[in-house]
Amino acid sequence: MANVIDLSPFNTILQRLEGVAVRLESAAGVQASASSDASPAPSQTNADSVAAIAFDNFLSVHVTKLQGAAKEVSSDAVNGATDNFVAILKLLRALFAASDKCAKPNNDDWAKILAPMIEISNSSAKACDNRSDYFSHCKAAAECTQIMMLPAQTSPSSQVQQCLEAMDFHGNKVLMKKIPADTAWMKALKEAMKELVEWCKENIKLGLSWKAGGPPASEYFAANPLGASTGQQATGKGGKSKGPAAPKGGFAAPPKELFEGMSKPTPPSGGGGGGMSDVFAQLQAGTGGLKKVTADMKTKNRDPNDKVSVVQSKAPAAAAAAAPRASLIKGKGPRGEPKIELERGFNWMVENQEGGMHTLSDDLEQSHLICIINCKNTTVKVDKKVKNVCLDGCLKVSVLVHDVVSAVEFVNSDRCVVQTMGKVNSFAIDKCDGAMVHLSKESIDAEFTTAKSSEMNVTMPDPDGVDGDIIEMPIPEQFVSKVNLSTKKLDTRVSDLYTSG
């Protein structure tokens, strides 16, 4: 009896391929009609890859809209930040176009290939001035430039989503100002990021496709560096910022030592001013450098007629030696060696971090506790659902969380911020000054328990407003109590400072 082959799966695949062809033809038609636009996408040729052609449609829509909104803000800083982001997009397009001309890069190749984007991203980060009224604008755009890493990811949409969530933290501050031009620009930036997530899911869901059997990527990009053909198009017209401009010959590959230094800790210097690493190196050195106390230095052996004690004569030196240790203990922030590790199988300890952003995503489970202790000027991102998040002894720490089963706790921490991206049921704030909580729509009904704290504020999306409207409310810290003679108890109410108006 002859075998019967079921062709239905092949028919399904054929239908999907036909749908992709229709979308690509549509994208090519849109690109042709937009060729006379003031900010055109890079020119396409028959040699361009499928991803590059599809990306042209994205650029033609969102680049023009974003740059137009930036001009309405009338700020050199915002225009420069926008131009940096647009430059990254156009360099990505050039990389997409090259994906069908060479083999997939090795992990060691990415640093050189992405060097032009790394330079632009660093320029964007350095341009963020916290004294400027447009600091949050620039920070949001700078976070978006991290999409440069999506070509190296097996899930590009996840990389863009992470950037979107990071920029949303600063974007909400812009939206809270309720300045029409600023709000329009931020919405255009968020829209571009959201659409880029969807574009990645539709076009490069499992990563960028490369030419099988093609020449090595290191050789191809050495001869055709990113920016060599898109440098003029990457140059923005708004403001004085020159960050996005790329030279005609492309960017020279950075020295190998630069990237080696990024992965290796810098050894403590022998001289002063080495920072915390020097201090701990000296503390861990033991007592080898201490002088031996001789018999004549002991109090019991000192001449009674000697008015100046040995201890007193050594006091200035002792105070100087104690200064580094006192600096470690005074105030909030790092008090030991930095570490991020899982203890007892369920307790994530993030301790003594200063500066930078740290993402907890791998190996996170719902039963895990996140403890952020003695950190300063640091951002911690918790990517998955966990049981509890606690900040203790921290200063100017920002935390981005998704779902939290139990609670988010602030303890003895100042100027700290928590932003929820999912569902959080409860917050506890104890002995804190300057606690800020940004609630997502899912966390609007969260409960707050506070004690011995001041300057606490909560922001949330306005349920009755348009998309992007934010409400900010202070958490009461002043109460009025009065004896109730009938119940022989105190009746307490919130001060009129929080209820008036």
* CATH number where 29 lies: 1.25.40.330
pLDDT, tens digit, for every residue of 290-341? 555 666 666 656 665 554 444 444 444 444 444 444 334 457 889 889 999 8
Judge whether residue 268 has pLDDT over 80.
Answer: no
Dihedral sign, CA of 100, 102, 105, 109? negative
Assess contact for 253 and 112: CB atoms under 8 A. yes
Q: What is the mean pLDDT of the chain?
A: 77
More confident residue, 425 or 5: 425
- Alpha-carbon span 245 to 231, nearest angstrom: 6
pLDDT band of 230, cuts 50, 70, 90: very low
More confident residue, 280 or 392: 392
The last residue of a domain, from among 256, 275, 309: 256
Judge whether residue 252 has pLDDT over 90.
Answer: no
Q: Is residue 107 part of a domain?
A: yes
pLDDT, tens digit, for every residue of 431-458? 999 999 999 989 999 999 998 898 899 9
Report for 226-230, 286-290, 339-343, 372-376: range of highest mean pLDDT: 372-376
Radius of gyration of the chain (CA): 29
Judge whether residue 264 has pLDDT over 50.
Answer: no
- Cα–Cα distances (Å) from 355 to 292, 333, 334, 479, in that order, read 40, 11, 11, 37
Instruction: Give me the torsion for CA of 123, 124, 129, 133, rounded to 10°.
Output: 150
Transcribe 105-135 into DSSP letters.
PPGGGHHHHTHHHHHHHHHHHHT--TTSTTH
User: 218 and 119, same structural domain?
Assistant: yes
- Alpha-carbon span 138 to 132, nearest angstrom: 10
Judge whether residue 8 has pLDDT over 50.
Answer: yes
Task: Name the region of 383 (left: φ>0; alpha: ψ -120 to 50; beta: rest).
Answer: alpha
pLDDT at 26: 52
Q: Is residue 445 part of a domain?
A: yes
pLDDT at 236: 37
pLDDT at 309: 41
CATH number (domain holding residue 416): 2.160.20.70
Judge whether residue 480 has pLDDT over 70.
Answer: yes
pLDDT at 85: 93
- Alpha-carbon span 177 to 32, nearest angstrom: 39
Number of Cβ within 10 Å of residue 338's Cβ equals 18
- Alpha-carbon span 474 to 459, nearest angstrom: 9
CA atoms within 13 A on the CB side of 375: 29
What is the mean pLDDT of the segment spanning 401-425?
Answer: 92
Among candidates 119, 139, 115, 116, which has minimal Cα distance to 127? 139
- Largest Cα–Cα distance of the chain, in whole Å? 121
Q: Is residue 306 part of a domain?
A: no
Transcribe 28-71 into DSSP letters.
HHHHHHTTTSSSPPPP--TTS-HHHHHHHHHHHHHHHHHHHHHH
The last residue of a domain, from among 197, 227, 256: 256
- Alpha-carbon span 473 to 499, nearest angstrom: 11
pLDDT band of 19, cuts 50, 70, 90: low
Q: Is residue 3 part of a domain?
A: no
Q: Is residue 297 part of a domain?
A: no
Q: Is residue 2 part of a domain?
A: no
Q: Which of 45-59, 117-131, 323-337, 416-430 has the lowest mean pLDDT?
A: 323-337
pLDDT at 323: 41
User: 346 and 252, same structural domain?
Assistant: no
pLDDT at 479: 86
Q: Is residue 407 part of a domain?
A: yes
User: 247 and 360, same structural domain?
Assistant: no
User: 344 and 252, same structural domain?
Assistant: no
Counting residues of the chain whose pLDDT is more than 90, the rounded percentage is 28
Judge whether residue 89 has pLDDT over 90.
Answer: yes
Assess contact for 469 and 461: CB atoms under 8 A. yes
pLDDT, tens digit, for every residue of 63-87? 888 999 999 998 899 999 999 999 9
What is the mean pLDDT of the segment spanning 123-140?
Answer: 88
pLDDT at 12: 56
User: 369 and 228, same structural domain?
Assistant: no
pLDDT band of 231, cuts 50, 70, 90: very low
The last residue of a domain, from among 256, 282, 312: 256
User: 245 and 363, same structural domain?
Assistant: no
Q: Is residue 29 part of a domain?
A: yes
Judge whether residue 243 has pLDDT over 90.
Answer: no
More confident residue, 14 or 460: 460
Contacts of 248 by beta carbon, 8 Å cutoff, 6+ apart: 228, 231, 232
pLDDT band of 187, cuts 50, 70, 90: very high
Measured in degrees and rounded to the nearest 5, phi and psi for residue 140 equal -60, -45
Kind and range of the H or E run holding 73: helix 50-73
CA atoms within 13 A on the CB side of 117: 24
pLDDT at 356: 85
Judge whether residue 11 has pLDDT over 80.
Answer: no
pLDDT at 279: 45
Rounded (5°) CA angle 328-331-334: 50
More confident residue, 16 or 92: 92
Contacts of 41 by beta carbon, 8 Å cutoff, 6+ apart: 31, 34, 55, 56, 59, 60, 63, 90, 93
- Alpha-carbon span 370 to 394, nearest angstrom: 14
pLDDT at 110: 87
pLDDT at 193: 92
- Residue 144: give the domain boundaries: 16-256
pLDDT at 345: 85
Q: Which residues of 300-329 are buried (b: 16+ CB within 10 A; e: fewer)?
A: eeeeeeeeeebeeeeeeeeeeeeeeeeebe
Token reading at 68: 């137009």
pLDDT at 207: 86
pLDDT at 163: 87
Number of domains in the chain: 2
Among candidates 117, 106, 109, which has minimal Cα distance to 84? 117
User: 229 and 354, same structural domain?
Assistant: no
Judge whether residue 287 has pLDDT over 50.
Answer: no
pLDDT at 355: 87
Q: Which of 383-392, 418-427, 456-465 has the lowest mean pLDDT?
A: 456-465
What is the mean pLDDT of the segment spanning 355-369?
Answer: 87
